[in-house]
Structure 1
Amino acid sequence: MSTIPAELAEIIEEFTEVPEADRLELLLEYSRELPELPERLAEHPELFEQVVECQSPLFLVVEVSAADANPVSLFFSAPPEAPTTRGFASVLAAGLDGKDAAAILAVPDDMPQQLGLTRALSPLRMRGMTAMLGRIKRQIAEQLAA
């Protein structure tokens, strides 16, 4: 069953409650809130996976803890001149970072479309956002299987 963690559901609600014309601006606000990389990762670009479907360079690292319920840490790297890509990475970070692996795996694959940005962004950008979520879920599944 697909479910959305409460924090991510609140973000989706935030997007759908603002007028469609203002949603892109809200995404740009999120882009400015993307957390900085911790030093231990910033110095090791080889640990990152590039999401090649994104129009702008976006790299991510997913760490699944071995602790109970397997909490997940998400880390994103995207240049400041890529605000839409950074914005969606920030939405995922704010909505999913620290959640249990099972909760993230249960997020519907079409979650990016639920933000109501399909008319504001090109289909190519929307595919990039969907690919980010897909990469996160794939990395979680691989780490749980290992």
Structure 2
Amino acid sequence: MTALPPKLEAVVNMFQKSPKAFRLQALLDFSKRVPPLPERLQADHDQMEQVHECQSPFFLFSEVEDGKVHLYFDAPQEAPTVRGFAGILLEGLQGATPEEILNVPDDFYFNMGLSELITPMRLRGMGAILTRLKKQLSA
């Protein structure tokens, strides 16, 4: 299996070692870590790509500066599950290299025990976010 970037691996390990009730609270905590969009993306939201597979409106934008990836996500506050996954990706992948992100297994989040907490449809949305991110970085 491909190694996860160290920060993402730490998040995955924390979820793996936690009881089910804590995992749900942790997911909600990660949802609160998604910062507002920078003004330039708020002013021109068309720069962002919508992930249609998500049940809630979800948009992402990535850019590479000095070899490091910067991630920006936009999802409604009323969508804590998808915002939580965005927070996990921010925590684990912000500042990683494009190669590190491209090597993240598409289903890494299955090892976090999230399937006990959220529906398969929401899990597919999570996978779609990572897939779109990888496509942006491959372009």
Q: Does 1:21 align with 2:21?
A: yes
- Tell me the equivalent position of 1:57: 57
Q: Taking structure 2 as the reference length, what is the TM-score of the superposition?
A: 0.95
CA RMSD of aligned residues (A): 1.1
Q: Taking structure 1 as the reference length, what is the TM-score of the superposition?
A: 0.91
Letter in 1 for 2:103: A
Task: Give the stretch that moved more between structures: 110-119 or 76-85.
Answer: 110-119
Letter in 2 for 1:2: T
By how many angstroms is 1:22 displaced? 2.3
By how many angstroms is 1:64 displaced? 2.1
CA displacement 1:18-37 (0-9 Å, x = unmatched) = 10232111100110111221
Letter in 2 for 1:64: V
- Tell me the equivalent position of 2:123: 126
Aligned structure 1 segments of 4 or more residues deviating by more than 6 angstroms: none
Q: Which of the numbers 98, 111, 114 marks the counterpart of 1:114?
A: 111
Structure 2: stretches of 5+ with no match in the other structure: none
- Tell me the equivalent position of 2:134: 137
**Identical-pair percentage:** 46
CA displacement 1:85-125 (0-9 Å, x = unmatched) = 10000100111011111011111111121221102100000
Structure 1: stretches of 5+ with no match in the other structure: none
SS at match of 1:55: coil
- Quote the Cα distance in structure 2 between the aligned partners of 1:14 and 1:48: 30
Q: Which of the numbers 84, 96, 101 marks the counterpart of 2:98?
A: 101
- Quote the Cα distance in structure 1 between the aligned partners of 2:35 and 2:43: 16
